[in-house]
Amino acid sequence: MKKKISIVIPCFNEEGNIESTYKKIEYVLKKLHSYDFEYIIIDNGSTDKTRDLIRKLIKKDKCISGIFLSRNFGPEASATACYIYATGDAVIGMAADLQDPPELIPQFIKKWEQGNDIVFGIYTKTEDNIFIYWLRKLFYKVFKSISNIDVPVNTTGFGLVSRKAINAFLSLPEKFRFSRGLLSWIGFKRDYIYYKKNRREKGKSSYNFFDYLHHAERGIFGFSYLILDLMIYGGIIIVFFSFLFVIGYLYTVFVIGNPINASIPLMLAIVFFGGIQLLAVSIIGKYIQVVVEETKNRPIYIVDEAINIRK
C-alpha cells in the first residue's frame, strides 16, 4: 500500500496566488508516483475571492479538502487546523504565497524516508523585506538563548512532520500556541533543509510588524521564564546598590554636610524606580495573560464550513 502524504496550505487573502500555488505543487507531485497525496487548504477568514477559488479547485480535484474558518484566528490556529484535518502518514506544510519553493517537496520526503520525524525548512536568503528578515533572525537567536528548547534560526512553516510527531503535537492542550516551539519541544529525530525564500508572487503580505511582535510574544512568554528570573536578580542588585547609595548619602550629609539639592536625586530615583516597577508589572501581566487565555478554554478556531473532509 502506498504511503499517504498530506499537503496542507493555510491561507488568508491569497486570491492572486492560491491557484498558481496548487498548480506548481501538483506539477511536482505528479512525478512522485510511489505516494498518494491529499490537499488540505485552510482559509483563515479571507475577505477577498480566496474562498470562491478554493471551491473551484475542489470541484476540479477531489483530493482537495477545504476548511473555512469563521474569521481570521491567526496563523497558529490555521496551522493547528491543518494538522487536525490531515490524514496522511506525513504532513508537509507550506504557505500559499509561493515564497517556499514546491520543488523541495521531494527532498523533504526523502529526509522523512531516512527516518526523520520532523524536517524543518530553514531559509538562508530571502527576497523579502530585509528589515523583517533581520528582526526574525534576531528573535530566533534570542529565543534560542533564553528558552529551554532548540528552535533553529530562521525556521519556517515550510516543512514535514510525521504522523507520530503530529499526534504528539496535537496531544498538547495549550491554547497559547507557538507551533515551531512546540514541534521542537516534542523531540523526535529531525533534520533540516536550507533554501532561499522567494519574493511573494502576487499580492501583499497581511503580516505587519505588530503581528511579528505578537508572534514573538507567544514564543517568549510560552517557553521561557528567564525574564522573571532576571527581574528577581535585577531587583536584588537594585536593592543592594540603593542601600549603598543611602548609606553613602547619609554619611555625606552627617560628615560633610548636604552638598547637593536633595530634590534632584529624589526625582531621579522616583522616575527610575517607577519605570522599573512599571516594566516588572507589565512583564508579570503578560504571563498572567497567558494563564487567562488557557483558563478560558475557548477553542483555538471555529469552522464555518468544511468541504470534502476525509475524517
Could you tell me the CATH superfamily of domain 3-221+299-307?
Spore Coat Polysaccharide Biosynthesis Protein SpsA; Chain A (3.90.550.10)
Establish how many alpha carbons lie within 13 A of residue 98's alpha carbon, considering only the half-sphere containing its beta carbon.
18
Q: Which residues contact 197 (CB under 8 A, 6 or more apart)?
A: 99, 100, 123, 125, 126, 127, 128, 156
Residue 132 confidence (pLDDT): 66
Residue 202 confidence (pLDDT): 62
Residue 222 confidence (pLDDT): 64
Residue 122 confidence (pLDDT): 82
Q: State the burial class of residue 283 (Cβ atoms within 10 Å of its Cβ: 0-12, 13-18, 19+).
A: middle
Q: What is the pLDDT along the chain (311 residues), one digit of tens a residue?
A: 778 888 888 888 888 888 888 888 888 888 877 888 888 888 888 888 888 888 888 888 888 888 888 888 877 888 888 888 888 888 888 887 778 888 888 888 888 888 888 888 887 776 666 666 677 767 777 777 666 677 777 777 788 988 888 888 888 877 777 777 777 778 788 888 888 777 766 656 556 556 666 666 666 666 666 676 677 777 777 777 777 777 776 777 677 666 555 566 666 667 677 777 777 777 777 777 777 777 777 788 888 888 877 76
Establish how many alpha carbons lie within 13 A of residue 88's alpha carbon, considering only the half-sphere containing its beta carbon.
27
Residue 185 confidence (pLDDT): 78
Residue 182 confidence (pLDDT): 79
Domain layout of the chain by residue ranges: 3-221+299-307, 226-296
DSSP three-state, residue 191: strand
Sign of the four-CA dihedral 111, 8, 50, 178: negative
Residue 98 confidence (pLDDT): 79
- Please answer whether residues 162 and 120 qualify as being in contact, where contact means their C-beta atoms are separated by less than 8 angstroms: no
Residue 221 confidence (pLDDT): 67
Give the residue among 206, 203, 211 at the shortest CA–CA distance from 53: 203
CA distance 79 to 97: 15
The C-alpha cell that represents 4 in the structure block: 499517504
Residue 21 confidence (pLDDT): 84
